[in-house]
Each structure stands twice: as C-alpha cells, then as structure tokens.
Chains A and B, each alone.
Chain A
C-alpha cells in the first residue's frame, strides 16, 4: 500500500548546523506532501506543504521540494536552533481513493547549544 519512509533517528546536531531529514514516499497518482512538527507536550502542527511536483514548501527557515522523479520530500534547514528540537513527521495525502494523511515514523531532532 501507499507509505512514507523517513530517515531513522534520533538526530543530534549542534546549533547553527545544516539539517536534512530524508523522506520518500510510494504513491499512485500525485499526492500532496507535508511536514508536521511535534514540540514536546504539544500536538502536531503543520510545518510546510507542497501539492504538486517541483513545488517548494517553506516555513520558519525550513524548506522541502516535491521531487516526483525520486519520490522524495526531504526537509532542510540551513542553520538550526535549539528551539527546533522536536519530532518531525513526513506525510502524504491523496484525494483519489483513501482520503487520509499517511505518516512516516517520525524523526526526533535534538539541537545542542
């Protein structure tokens, strides 16, 4: 079935380091793609999204580009901060067929000062 695969965590970086969290998906058709973030003690929040191939989603310094040829939606940030410490989830949503968000397993990110 349709799925989303994220790079395994946890990921620990120093402040101001470059971040990449890999995400690939299997799909029939052209799903919308999302990154959600879950800060400690809080609910899931939408970080960014892209709804068609070559779209780039961006928010709070994070970016991800919808790559249809590699079925990927990797999350990047040029300079991470301690406040970025959270769990990040990649997800897909497809209008045709089963209309639901399908999530990856999550990547826990810890940023040390």
Chain B
C-alpha cells in the first residue's frame, strides 16, 4: 500500500493558464475525492467518483473546473483560465466504499497551486 499520491506537489502558473493535477489513489479503492483547502480553512469538498462515475459535484466546482477518472483508477483535475482565487491546496483522498466504521479515507499530500 503506497498511499495516495498527487502530482505535482507544487504548481505556479500565470493567471489565465490551464493547469492539470493528477491523483493516484490506493489501489482497489473505488472511491476518490477531491477537496480544496485555502489558508486557515478546512478542506472543502469539490467532487467524488465511485469507480469511473462522477457522482457528486460541489457548487464550488465552476464550469472552469473538470475532473475525470478514466477506467476508475487515477484521476485528473483540470482548471481552465486560472484566476488568483484558485490559489489553494488541492487534496485528493480515496476510500474502499463509504467512509464509516470499517473504512477510512486516506489523503494525499496535496498539490499547492499558486496563480500569479
């Protein structure tokens, strides 16, 4: 079990550029979550997948954001036409089914995005 890995760890981009982040969940975890965390705040839910199906999207996920999980394995989160307000830590987590008594969500170390 190598844990949830995210790439890149840091990204600096100019306003208006597109960026894409990748998340590799723990193998055999069918659920994958994306969160955004700004300084001094807790993680805010963006979206989640069960296998390859995107089951829920937050209102935070504007039409500039898109997430995919082809084949139910790794996932990508793309932000088009980045804005300074997109600067944040983007976290990925995975779990084997619903989180609860016997299941926990494991988080990656995140991708820190800075839009200049």
A residues sitting closer than 8 Å to B (CB atoms) are 4, 6, 32, 34, 36, 42-46, 49, 51, 89, 91, 93, 95, 98-106
Contacts and interface: CB of A to CB of B under 8 A. Distances in A.
A73 B6 CA distance: 31
A102 B45 CA distance: 7
B66 to A, nearest CB: 18
19 contacts: A43-B4, A43-B91, A43-B107, A43-B108, A44-B91, A45-B107, A49-B104, A51-B100, A93-B98, A93-B99, A95-B100, A99-B99, A100-B45, A100-B56, A101-B35, A101-B99, A102-B45, A105-B41, A105-B42
A36 B110 CA distance: 15
Query: Looking at chain B's contact residues, is the secondary structure mostly helix, strand, loop, or mixed?
Result: loop
B100 A32 contact: yes
Query: Looking at chain A's contact residues, is the secondary structure mostly helix, strand, loop, or mixed?
Result: strand
B43 A89 contact: yes
Nearest to B3: A43
B101 interface: yes
Given A43-B109, A46-B106, A99-B48, 9 more contacts: A32-B99, A42-B109, A43-B91, A44-B91, A46-B104, A93-B99, A93-B100, A95-B98, A103-B43
